[in-house]
Amino acid sequence: MKQSRLELIVGVFVLAGLAAVAYLALRIGAGALVGGDTYTLKARFSNSGGLNPGSNVLIAGVPVGRVDLITLNPADYSALVEFSLREDVKLPVDSIASIKTSGLIGDKFLALSPGGEEAVLPPGALINDTESTVDIESLISRFAFGNVDQKTPPPTETPVTETAK
């Protein structure tokens, strides 16, 4: 009798642990543990290659939010990235959004560089000052197949002759 009671207690403990792990996995996957209240901003990029919903948003290497949605703007065929920031992070209106890579061929993330203006971006605002991702594959292929623009040597100076008046 004592043995079966001990097994029952251990089983309940294991099930509670599994339920806690599943709950945390779902919360982290949904980005709910980024930290409290958030607000949404948008940024327009000409190329958002490699950036995915759920990617980190960093300021000075510190995670401050997550990418929520990436859509195609049919008006100008640009990528519209919607992301959430913590409520305590206020970005100036002249901030810059860039898509960066962690490491040489790592994951992409959205890097924000705050500007110097006093006015801050309201929730739902659009950041137009952006830097798109660098396509490493096309750079390597251009280099491998010799399509990289080479610097042209400066023109040689030719003596200027005066014309008769």
- Distant-in-sequence, close-in-space partners of 81: CB < 8 Å, separation ≥ 6: 42, 43, 44, 45, 48, 51, 67, 69, 70, 97, 110
For 103-157, the pLDDT digits (tens) are: 777 788 999 999 888 899 999 999 988 887 776 777 777 778 876 555 544 444 4
For 24-78, the pLDDT digits (tens) are: 887 776 555 545 688 999 999 988 888 899 899 999 989 999 999 999 999 999 9
Q: Point out which residues pair with 126 in neighbouring strands.
A: 42
